[in-house]
Amino acid sequence: MPFLELTLPCSEAEQPRLERALENVGALAMTLADAHADAPDEQAIFEPGVGQTPLWGEMALTALFEGGTPPELLLHALAAADEGVDWSRARFREVADQDWERAWMDQYEPLQFGRRTWIVPWNHALPEGADNDDAAVVRLDPGLAFGSGTHPTTALCLAWLDGLADSGELDGAQVLDFGCGSGILALAALKLGAAGATGVDNDPQALAATADNAQRNEVDHRLGVYLPEDEPVRTYPVVVANILASALVALADTLAARVAPGGRIALSGILAGQQDEVLERYAGAFEDLSVTQLEDWIRISGTRRG
């Protein structure tokens, strides 16, 4: 059946108030988008920092209602729900129903990283190369969590893990994926030869997605998932953190303490131009720090001082 779509401009401060009013009048679903998504200087938001839920300063709030709902009656109901909002800013259109999950998944194609790491949507046939005996294939359903392999920050980390596997450094290792999102990096490490992995994220939805993806890949018995406050304190020979640069700076002591002497670390989620501050924070605990860039994004990798 078709839906009635309402789109309303809003600020970050207005967003909770508008969502409450829309929920009260029967909104079936709501989404937020950057109001200036087509601008060349749009603000990209990927993975929030630990304890943060960043939003754009100016947003477009979209809500879906049952098809056939009269827009005029809906505006009257919204005015009654919150008289302090200028609901005349709302714009309406009718949208056709579709298999939203299938449409979303159809955007994704199998991707190769490094020599043998493949990320393949769970409903997609294995492409040529991914069916080789030594291929490390992660079957992924990203769900609503960050991390499908399509973004340069994730690609940089997957290529780094693939390189560690080629050098034998992942064989039998324990890996920490800090800010695990969909679990893509932990799963890749396990498929590349790691004995076990720990995924940490401040979003319970991300932990659920990681656990589901681990089960789909039949490695759930080798992967533990935790909120930051529940994470077991230990050291790892391999640590990867794909979060924002500001979070990497704030968590430098925590992450350094998780890497065993001589262990390896990869830090990603860093925009070009932000690397100097991150390098400065990690230089005391790590040696051989190197910078790798893909498009506008940076990965920093290094070895824990003994």
Q: Reduced to 3 states, what is the DSSP secondary structure of residue 39? A: coil
Mean pLDDT for 257-286 is: 96
Indicate the pairing of strand 3-11 with strand 91-95. antiparallel
Percentage of the residues of the chain whose pLDDT score is greater than 90: 65
pLDDT digits (tens, 9 = 90+) for 196-206: 999 999 989 88
Is the same domain home to 131 and 279?
Answer: yes
Do both 92 and 112 map to the same domain? no
Look at 16-25, 58-67, 182-191, 235-244 and tell me which has the smallest mean pLDDT.
58-67
Question: 109 and 242 in one domain?
Answer: yes
Distances (CA, A) of 49 to 59, 153, 201: 20, 15, 10
Whether residues 277 and 156 share a domain: the answer is yes
d(CA 56, CA 22): 20
Residues forming a β-bridge with 64: 5, 29
Reading the block at residue 36, the tokens are: 């200036």
Same domain assignment for residues 25 and 130 = no
Tokens of 157: 């980390």
Q: Both 83 and 114 in a single domain? A: no
Residue 112 per-residue DSSP state: E
CATH number of domain containing 85: 3.30.70.260
Tell me the two tokens of residue 76: 């009257």
Number of domains in the chain: 2
Burial of 225 (0-12, 13-18, 19+ CB in 10 A): buried
Amino acid 149: pLDDT: 61
Q: Would you state the pLDDT for residue 42?
A: 40
Contact predicate 227/204, CB 8 Å: yes
CATH code of residue 282 = 3.40.50.150
Q: Is 235 annotated as a binding residue?
A: no
Closest CA to 153 of 288, 226, 247, 257: 247
* Same domain for 91 and 118: no
- The pTM score is 0.69
Determine the pLDDT at residue 26.
92
Whether residue 11 is predicted with pLDDT greater than 50 in this model: the reply is yes
Domain boundary among 78, 97, 116: 97
Residues 34 and 133 in one domain: no
- Segment 277-285 mean pLDDT: 97
Of 97, 124, 155, which residue is a domain's last?
97
Domain interval for residue 35? 3-97
116 in the same domain as 81: no
When pLDDT is averaged across residues 76-90 and rounded to a whole number, the result is: 93
User: What one-character DSSP code corresponds to residue 222?
Assistant: G
Give dist(CA 251, CA 229) in Å, integer.
Answer: 13
Distance, CA of 215 to CA of 51 (rounded, Å): 27
128 plus 69 within the same structural domain:
no
63 and 133 fall within a common domain:
no
Q: Are residues 205 and 291 in the same domain?
A: yes
Domain end call among 76, 97, 118? 97
Dist CA 213 CA 237 (whole Å): 23
Q: Does the pLDDT of residue 58 top 80, yes or no?
A: no
| 134 known ligand binder | no
**Residue 62 labeled ligand binder:** no
Instruction: Indicate left, alpha or beta for 254 from its phi (over 0: left) and psi (-120 to 50: alpha).
Output: alpha
> Which has the higher per-residue pLDDT, 132 or 99?
132
Q: Is 154 annotated as ligand-binding?
A: yes
Q: What is the mean pLDDT of the chain?
A: 86
